[in-house]
Structure 1
Amino acid sequence: MWSGPRNISTVMMRAWGNRPDTVVVDEPFYAYYLKATGKKHPCADEVIAAGEIDWRKVVAQLTGPIPKGKHILFQKQMTHHLLPEV
């Protein structure tokens, strides 16, 4: 799901997350985006420390095998997190 701020994307993500056959990924490019732009967001340091800051690795994870033996991968993406180099 490609999304923007302040809509129903979180509700959709939680609904898909309740399915036993689905893995949910929440804004996988967020840490990369914060690190690359230097934007000041709440908990930015924690997000950067916990997330993947190499966009190539994020792409590889999202396009590789679905983890945990599941059949569906639901990705909640924020379009503004995709910088031109991605």
Structure 2
Amino acid sequence: MWSGPRNISTALMRSWGSRPDAYVCDEPFYAHYLEHTGIEHPGREEVLASQERDWRKVVQWLTGPIPEGRTVFYQKHMAHHLLPRIGREW
């Protein structure tokens, strides 16, 4: 799901996350976004240290097998995290 700030995206993500067959990921391009924009957000250093920054690796993970053997892969994306440098072919 592609979303924007301040709407029901987190509620939807939590709803999908309550399903035993669903794997949920939250804003997978966030670290790349923070690294390449220089924006100071709360928890910036923790995000940069714990999440993948290479958008190509993120795309590979997002389009690969669903983690943990689940059958549903719910991806919560923020539209503004999709920087112009990120390919759209995936």
Runs of 4+ in structure 1 off by over 6 angstroms are none
What are the superposed Cα offsets for residues 2-25 of structure 1, whole Å, 9 maximum, x if unpaired?
Answer: 000000000000000000000000
Any stretches of 5+ residues in structure 1 without a counterpart? none
Any stretches of 5+ residues in structure 2 without a counterpart? none
Q: Cα offset for 1:43?
A: 1.0
Provide the identity percentage. Answer: 64
- CA distance, structure 2, for counterparts of residue 67 and residue 53 of structure 1: 19
Cross-structure match for 1:3: 3
Q: Cα offset for 1:41?
A: 0.6
Tell me whether 1:23 sits opposite 2:8 in the alignment. Answer: no
What are the superposed Cα offsets for residues 25-70 of structure 1, whole Å, 9 maximum, x if unpaired?
Answer: 0000001100111111111011110110000000000000101010
Count of residue pairs the alignment pairs up = 86
Cross-structure match for 1:69: 69
- CA distance, structure 1, for counterparts of residue 69 and residue 30 of structure 2: 25
- CA distance, structure 2, for counterparts of residue 67 and residue 43 of structure 1: 25
Q: TM-score, normalised by structure 1?
A: 0.98
